[in-house]
Structure 1
Amino acid sequence: MKNLFLFLFGRFTSTVGNSIFNLAIPLLILDKTSSGRAMGSFMGTTFLPALLILPFVGLYIEKRNKKKIMIITDILQFTLFFALWYHYHSYGFSIGFLTLFISISKVIGRFFDISSVSIFPRIIDESLYGKGNSWQGILDNISELTSPILGVFLYKTQGIESIFLLNALTFLI
């Protein structure tokens, strides 16, 4: 039961942080560039590396320790988001740095996502598998419903830097 709780809580906090971040980034790009084209180009460009590497991620993860991969990817994501916060705080907005950062983050995220899906049945008792899946679905739905509201609220009231730091911290939980 402890493994299930830790897994679900960690996944939920990371999902909420990422969802808030993923909503705020297009708002930031629109605010800074006033261009839907720039936002669309940015979103397509940052998605492409993760899409290209996806077929190989599963093969790599299959032969590795999934728990370690999840821990390492969380540490990497924390480091990247903290670096993004520092860069933005020190140097301001840079669409080039943001594009590079998000592209790397999305690739790392694929490793985490595939590891978490494949490790789920291995970390909980078989008797809790159905209950665990139900709770995972409930928490995913809560995240999907609350994150957009929280994202817009935080972006408008606290600014993008607070979202960078919040998302970094969610990877430590």
Structure 2
Amino acid sequence: MKREKKIANKNLILLLLGRMISDTGTGIQMIIIPLYIIDMGGSAATVGLFSFLSLVPLLIAYPFAGVIGDRLNRKIIMVATDIASAAAILGLTFAAYTDKINLILLLTVQVIVSLLNGLFDPATKAMLPQLVAPEKLTQANSTLASLRTLSGLLSPILGVVLYGKLGIASIFLINGISFLLSGGCSTLIKYKHVKRESVAGVQGYISDLSQGIKFVLDNKIISKLCTFFLLIYAIIQPIFTVVLPLFFKTQLTYSDKQYGYLQMILILGALLGSILVALLFGKEKKVSKPLMIGCGLLMFTMLAFSSLLFPHILYSLGTGTLLYFVFLSGILFLLSVAIMLINVPVQTFIQKHTPDEYMSRMFSIVGMITKGGMPFGGLVYGLVLNYAPVHYVMSSVSILLLLISVTFLSSLLKTSNFL
């Protein structure tokens, strides 16, 4: 028993270490590439295209990734995609070092890496429940979320320093090495693949994907959680990418440096939220308690955030004062905490209640939902804010979110196995 526990702990450490290393390398590159594109003479449209190509290929890969992850050895998928990503990015390193890099090559490699990430992600999330006991899943997911958030905190600092002193080739080199190290960690994980019978060919893949979708639709709790995830991510994430930058630049008088501080505060909030889930709810058998607290905190912070945007509040506190910055950063900090209090328990519940043969397909569907709703939500925000003041838009969004959360929670709490 002790030996099995030691192996399980070693496997989890290897998985977590590999993810943190590759997330840090990827984060460094993703932070710097927009700056590099502009330095190369690219326009804002080129930066937007890079952002588009970072997400859309991943979404396209997800349906196939789910089926592949449930058919093939997940460990081999992780190792192969890490090595392929490393090869592509190290190729960029050579091109940058020899001054042969150009925008077309950069964007092409980004498409390849995004597709590979789409294959990698569902396999990783599906493997986690096989490496830890069910009662340890919340702690494992919380630790993974904490490390990923920590890498997000380190990446901008490391990226700016490295790019400024050593140039773009160093950024690509470090990211390529990070994928190699991540692949090495995955290789050392002791994992037994359970092969299942499946129909070969295109028809078999379509059949497997249909079965995965049917599993989600037939499971009332999981389908409700997926719907809630779609709505939450579509509503909340564009606040950070569309509403906040627009409001900060047009309504406030702070510097870009203070905007950077605000971004760090958001990351620290997410880090604290993921840690709190493990400390306070790591031993909870049900996820309803942290989820209810997270939804309650989310509703409170959204109402508080929308209140801060009203002109008379801006006039009273001042558009460039320390007092207003403290209020704004404090509310956004709590908003990040709330998102993690929702995210980690939902992911844990899905892992606990999904059979292993559906696990990769399940997380490919969840991935499409969480990431697919963001660009659509951002588009809607962008269109609406052209015609309506930001404080009215966010007040309406807060009320809508309140109604969605109350409806969602009241529906879930009627289900016995969720309580």
TM-score when scaled to structure 2? 0.40
Could you report, residue by residue, the CA deviation over 1:139-168 in whole angstroms, capped at 9, with x for unpaired residues?
112112121222122111221111111011
1:19 equivalent to 2:51? Answer no
Q: CA deviation at 1:34?
A: 4.8
Paired residues for 1:98-117 under 5 Å: 98-117=106-125
CA distance in 2: counterparts of 1:162 and 1:113, whole angstroms: 26
How many residue pairs align between the two structures? 173
Amino acid at match of 2:174: L
Paired residues for 1:3-82 under 5 Å: 3-82=11-90
Q: CA deviation at 1:86?
A: 0.9
Q: CA deviation at 1:50?
A: 2.5
Correspondence for 1:160 among 155, 158, 168: 168
- Match for residue 95 of structure 1? 103
CA distance in 1: counterparts of 2:126 and 2:32, whole angstroms: 29
Q: Bigger shift: 135-144 or 44-53?
A: 44-53
- Gapped runs of 5+ residues in structure 2? 1-8, 182-419
CA distance in 2: counterparts of 1:34 and 1:56, whole angstroms: 33
- Match for residue 148 of structure 1? 156
1:172 equivalent to 2:180? Answer yes
Could you report, residue by residue, the CA deviation over 1:53-94 in whole angstroms, capped at 9, with x for unpaired residues?
322221222211111100111111111111111122224331
Amino acid at match of 1:39: V
Distance verdict in 2 for CA 1:141–1:51, change over 3 Å: same
Answer yes or no: is the 8 Å Cα contact 1:69–1:115 preserved in 2: yes
CA distance in 2: counterparts of 1:50 and 1:118, whole angstroms: 17
Q: Where do 4+ consecutive residues of structure 1 move more than 4 Å?
A: none
SS of match in other structure, 1:33: coil
| More helix per residue | 1
SS of match in other structure, 1:67: helix
Q: CA deviation at 1:48?
A: 3.0
- Match for residue 132 of structure 1? 140
Answer yes or no: is the 8 Å Cα contact 2:162–2:170 preserved in 1: yes
CA distance in 2: counterparts of 1:72 and 1:157, whole angstroms: 32
Answer yes or no: is the 8 Å Cα contact 1:46–1:100 preserved in 2: no
Answer yes or no: is the 8 Å Cα contact 1:80–1:101 preserved in 2: yes
Answer yes or no: is the 8 Å Cα contact 2:53–2:110 preserved in 1: no
Q: Bigger shift: 142-151 or 104-113?
A: 142-151
Distance verdict in 2 for CA 1:146–1:66, change over 3 Å: same
CA distance in 2: counterparts of 1:136 and 1:35, whole angstroms: 36
Amino acid at match of 1:43: S
CA distance in 1: counterparts of 2:42 and 2:76, whole angstroms: 42
CA distance in 2: counterparts of 1:111 and 1:34, whole angstroms: 30
Amino acid at match of 1:110: G
Q: Bigger shift: 16-25 or 142-151?
A: 142-151
Distance verdict in 2 for CA 1:122–1:21, change over 3 Å: same
Could you report, residue by residue, the CA deviation over 1:89-127 in whole angstroms, capped at 9, with x for unpaired residues?
224331111111110011001111111111111122335
- Gapped runs of 5+ residues in structure 1? none
Q: CA deviation at 1:18?
A: 0.4
CA distance in 2: counterparts of 1:48 and 1:133, whole angstroms: 26
CA distance in 1: counterparts of 2:53 and 2:86, whole angstroms: 22
TM-score when scaled to structure 1? 0.92
Question: Identity, % of aligned pairs?
Answer: 34
Root-mean-square deviation (CA, aligned residues, Å) is 1.6
Amino acid at match of 1:113: D
